[in-house]
Amino acid sequence: MRLRFARSTAALGLAGCALLGIAGPAGAASAPQGFNISTSSGGTYAGWANAYGNVVFHGTMTFEVTATVADKCPADGAGAYVRVESIWTDGSVHVGNSFVGDASGCSDGITATGRTYPTEPMKVKSVRVTVRECDKVGTSLNCSENSADIARSTWKDNPYT
């Protein structure tokens, strides 16, 4: 009987810690939340862009984005670039730099195998992915602000916050 009590007490202690979020091993990653977004032709540039992939949350302060981006014809001198925006639980919005781009044109596509974003010490509430048509000038991107040249995914909510 004493052993059963010890097991029950240990189980209740672990359950309490898990509810408080103060102990225990890191949980599994969230289910992938997909996106498939495209700009329109007829903006500043003649071509258009497409990006698709997944957002996966690994806890309250880390998420990963995997994306494939393609610059679509007709060739117009611009490329397709993906960046990530996040809202933290304090309400602040953070915009990352483009992490994958396809500037070679005409649908050959470029895949980013995944970029992990640690946000410590802040907790991330939501993430969305943006594809933009930009002209690369040296090491800088000159991105169109025309709404036809920008597409955004829906916000992907972090199940851990």
pTM (global) more than 0.95 = no
List the chain domain ranges: 28-157
Cα dihedral value 130, 131, 132, 134, nearest 10:
120
pLDDT in tens, 81-135: 999 999 999 999 999 988 888 887 666 677 776 788 888 889 999 999 999 999 8
How confident is residue 67, by pLDDT bands cut at 50, 70 and 90? very high
User: In Å, how far are 26, 47, 62, 151, 154 from 37, measured between CA atoms?
Assistant: 32, 15, 23, 6, 9
Mean pLDDT of the chain: 81
Question: What architecture is domain 28-157?
Answer: Sandwich (2.60)
